[in-house]
Chains A and B, each alone.
Chain A
Amino acid sequence: MKLSEIVQKLNGKVLNSKINLEIEVNGAGAADLMSDVLASIQPQAVLLTGLCNPQVVRTAMMADVLAIVLVRSKMPPVETVQLAENESIPLISTPYGMFEACGILYEAGLNCLERPVSDQDCFAS
């Protein structure tokens, strides 16, 4: 699925001034705990989250997240938008809540890119 389709399905608002939305997205994951994102999200996923501080963008960079979707019409502080702009990470705001946003994308056929966090070494690849 193209990122532009995700924006459309979620009735989303793109907060970057210039960003390419015609990129292919493999799947998504949702979390509000940044440690969970770091531990469980697989590379090239879209991250749905309710957090909007700059750490979300940093976390996304570390975990190779492709794009960030902020749920419940959240408008992030300027620092977050600026960082996303500088690092060219798409930042999208959707009016849907977390549950509904996930449901819409799941129903549209987007894969789950979260893996269970076990005590095993999950990073072997």
Chain B
Amino acid sequence: MTEQTPLRKSSLISDQEAENITRVEELAYEIKVQEVMTPNPITMTASVKMQEVLEQFRVARISGAPIVEEGRLIGIISIEDLIRCLIQSDLQAEIQKYMTHNPFTVKGDDPVVEALKMFVSTKVGRLPVVNKEGQLIGILTKGDITRGLLKALQQDYQTEEVRRYRASHLFEDIESERTSLILRYNIKAGDFTHGGEASSKIKRALSRMGASPQIARRCGIATYEAEMNLIIHTTEGGVIRVEIEPHQISIDVYDSGPGIKDVELAMKPGYSTASEKVRELGFGAGMGLVNISRCVDIMKLESVWGKGTRLRMKIFLKKEDTVGEGHAAKS
């Protein structure tokens, strides 16, 4: 997809926050004034006659204009000022008699929310936009903000919608006896900083493919516990392999050592061989495998001491909950 609008840090609508109202508030913090303002507005100088203001407003269909002197903003003239002038039948007067001197301004790189606050506190209809040097770069009305937010919102929505649509129909047009999608993640031993990254990606992928929140959550928790096990216990890390089929998710987590001495004991709630450091991180309470078994439909743990461990899990999906076949995620 090509996008012409200025680059914003792309932030996707996450699983829960599909409500666009809250997204608008977020966008008000993300979008900069200069992205939504009207650039290069019509400007005038202080010595111009009010008669000329009347003409300009009428021809250009505008209701206000900044007054500049050598590129510097010195005032603003609005339709309200023009009306005051008309009441006095004073169209031969110069702008400086009726303009607002030293008007409120916003900076181009301020977030839109700052401008919104200023509109509320000052009750003005338009705000000149200046750069760091105080030079005029544009003009901003509440209408500009509304348009800018709607545009960004639509773009956001479309990007995520397209992603979700593509992913949720992934399997539909592919014919085979058995179609599946395989995701692989290499997990490094001792890499606590990135612990959980793979699981987050797996959970997101499933949501996009149309998995229900319950399924995505169960799968997320099971892979997260397994991922942390690889980080905590293995000598050289391991691999998470997720095979997604419309009706089932098969998760395979394997490593090359050191292996588990007593598999039966490892499955007991509360049994743990984790170090003090790991416990300080909130793990190693001996609940990981127990948690996993609660989240999945089938779980098989095989391990040979000195060789490695293989944990296989399966989650079955009900007919109406299949992924990649166009079922929308239900909450």
Q: Chain A: residues with CB nearer than 8 A to chain B?
A: 17-20, 22-23, 32-36, 38-39, 43-44, 49, 51, 53-56, 58-59, 61-64, 66, 79, 87-88, 119, 121-123, 125
Q: Could you say which residues of chain B place their CB within 8 Å of the CB of A125?
A: 214
Which residue of B11, B17, B26, B225 contacts A35 across the interface (Cβ within 8 Å)?
A: B225
Say yes or no for B126: interface residue by CB 8 A criterion.
no
Could you mark each residue 20-38 of chain B with 1 if its beta carbon is under 8 Å from any beta carbon of chain A, else 0?
0010011001100000000
- B281→A53 contact, CB < 8 A: yes
Q: How far is the CA of A64 from the CA of B290 in the complex (A)?
A: 19
Quick one: given A56-B282, A62-B203, A62-B220, are A36 and B294 in contact (CB under 8 Å)? no
Q: How far is the CA of A24 from the CA of B279 in the complex (A)?
A: 33
- A64→B15 contact, CB < 8 A: yes
- B193→A39 contact, CB < 8 A: no
Could you mark each residue 280-301 of chain B with 1 if its beta carbon is under 8 Å from any beta carbon of chain A, else 0?
0111010110110011000000
Interface contacts beyond A33-B285, A61-B203: sample of 15 additional A-B pairs, CB < 8 Å, sorted by A: A18-B29, A20-B22, A34-B282, A35-B225, A35-B283, A36-B285, A49-B282, A53-B192, A54-B196, A55-B281, A59-B224, A62-B221, A88-B26, A122-B294, A123-B294
Q: Which of A33, A34, A122 has the most CB of B within 10 A?
A: A34
Q: Interface residues of B: mostly helix, strand, loop or mixed?
A: helix
Q: Could you say which residues of chain A place their CB within 8 Å of the CB of B285?
A: 33, 35-36
Chain A nearest CB, measured from B196 CB (Å): 3
Say yes or no for B49: interface residue by CB 8 A criterion.
no
- A18→B26 contact, CB < 8 A: yes
- A44→B221 contact, CB < 8 A: no
Q: How far is the CA of A84 from the CA of B168 in the complex (A)?
A: 27
A66 nearest CB neighbor, chain B only: B16
Chain B nearest CB, measured from A61 CB (Å): 6
- B214→A58 contact, CB < 8 A: no
Q: How far is the CA of A119 from the CA of B270 in the complex (A)?
A: 13
Quick one: given A62-B203, A63-B217, A64-B15, are A121 and B294 in contact (CB under 8 Å)? yes
Q: Could you say which residues of chain A place their CB within 8 Å of the CB of B193?
A: 54, 79
Which residue of A17, A32, A38, A64 contacts B291 across the interface (Cβ within 8 Å)?
A: A38
Q: How far is the CA of A43 from the CA of B221 in the complex (A)?
A: 12
